[in-house]
Amino acid sequence: MQQSSSRLIELDFFRGLVLLVIVVDHIGGSILSRVTLHAYALCDAAEVFVFLGGFATATAYAALAERRNETIARSRFLRRSLEIYRAFLVTAGLMLLVSAVLSAFSIDGPNLATTDLDDLIDAPLAALRDIVLLRRQPYLASVLPMYAFFALFVPAILPLARSKPWLLLAGSIALWAGAPVIGTYLPAARDMHWDFNPFAWQLLFVLGVLARCQPVYQRVSTHRLGWLVSVFAFAVVALAAYYQLFLAHAPLAGSLKQNLSYLRAGNFLAIAWLVANLIQLGWAKKLARRLPWIGLIGRQGLLCFVAGAVISLVIDSVLYAATDGYLNYPLGLLADAAAVGALFAVALGVEPLKRFVGRFVAGRLGTSS
């Protein structure tokens, strides 16, 4: 991994790619989702997303601390936690709004937030209170509370990652091991639960931070026995792919994802090691330069995640209604193209919109003065 504090085009590329995969993976009739990571591994895009989140956080923190100072970097990530919490509220509201609109048009998709919507109609104040207190997390909004917690603890994690990495790693592993028990104390409304236990998933976030702050890959890969790690990683990836393709007859239990089982974490780390080899060879940078539009999506990560949640819910529901839940290759490919195009349009329109708003506000201020 590069140690420059400048923006990494490979990082933007992989973040954009993961956001695209997340969108199509949440479209039940998607054709592209048949060849994404979850089809060949025991993990999916969620592990990549969290790990890259830790790596990107460490990159941004280091750059800000270098340009300004540690105090400003710490305060920036405390504000970032609040921004992610606000994004959660917006996403939760959009999930409910989209579900209500689709239901009104008799489009009954499999992932509509109907339970949350019914509870909101029956007891609006209680349902809204539950959302504000994170006791209720409608559909795809559920990943954001975890990220808000991560950002909140960045000021404590980053100094340890640089000065006492082994202590941070040991504490993270211990917390991950106890996560299934600790997670029972997370706030949740009746018959609700957190889809992502932050006490478990923090392990991948911390590993992403450590990968950025410490030259782990460089030291291991340059060791005379470093090639054995690559061989072992390849064996793990191959075994997991064989299981998924030929032996698995049903998806893994949801609790394994909720609490980040060692199977998922181990498979992801093996994949990450092999991808790091490709990055070292320069393949990722070449791809990033040839496909700059994917990096554009990655640079607008939070906005594109929120937009992607809406896009996938709408397209998934419409496609389900159009096909009665059956796989339809032409319509599935059309849905994939619509989802990818819509997410790119969102990323492409951010900067022009900001400039327009800036000119509009400046013009209004000039008029009023």
In a domain, 3, yes or no: no
DSSP state of 247: I
Backbone angles phi, psi at 64, to 5 degrees: -70, -40
pTM reported for the whole predicted model: 0.93
Our separate counts of H helices and E strands in the chain read 17, 0
Distance of CA 227 to the CA centre of its chain: 30
In a domain, 155, yes or no: yes
Q: What is the pLDDT of residues 300-315, one digit of tens each?
A: 999 999 999 999 999 9
d(CA 131, CA 126): 9
Number of domains the chain contains: 1
Please count the other Cβ atoms lying within 10 Å of the Cβ belonging to residue 216.
15
Per-residue pLDDT tens listing for the chain (369 residues): 444 434 589 999 999 999 999 999 999 999 999 999 999 999 999 999 999 999 999 999 988 988 888 889 889 999 999 999 999 999 999 999 999 999 999 998 899 999 999 999 999 999 999 999 999 999 999 999 999 999 999 999 999 999 999 999 999 999 999 999 999 999 999 889 999 999 999 999 999 999 999 999 999 999 999 999 999 999 999 999 999 999 998 888 889 999 999 999 999 999 999 999 999 999 999 999 999 999 999 999 999 999 999 999 999 999 999 999 999 999 999 999 999 999 999 999 987 876 766 666 666 666 665
What is residue 224's three-state secondary structure? coil
How far, CA to CA in Å, does 18 sit from each of 49, 162, 164, 320?
6, 27, 30, 23
In a domain, 237, yes or no: yes
How far, CA to CA in Å, does 320 sit from each of 112, 125, 323, 325, 327?
11, 32, 5, 5, 9
Residue 357 structural domain: 9-368
- 70-104 helix and 124-132 helix, angle to the nearest 10 degrees: 150
In a domain, 1, yes or no: no
In a domain, 227, yes or no: yes
Q: What is the pLDDT of residues 206-263, one digit of tens each?
A: 999 999 999 999 999 999 999 999 999 999 999 999 999 999 988 888 899 999 999 9
In a domain, 350, yes or no: yes
Collect contacts of 181-189 with beta carbons under 8 A, ≥24 apart. 183/258, 183/259, 187/133, 187/134, 187/135, 188/135, 188/136, 189/119, 189/130, 189/135, 189/136
In a domain, 4, yes or no: no
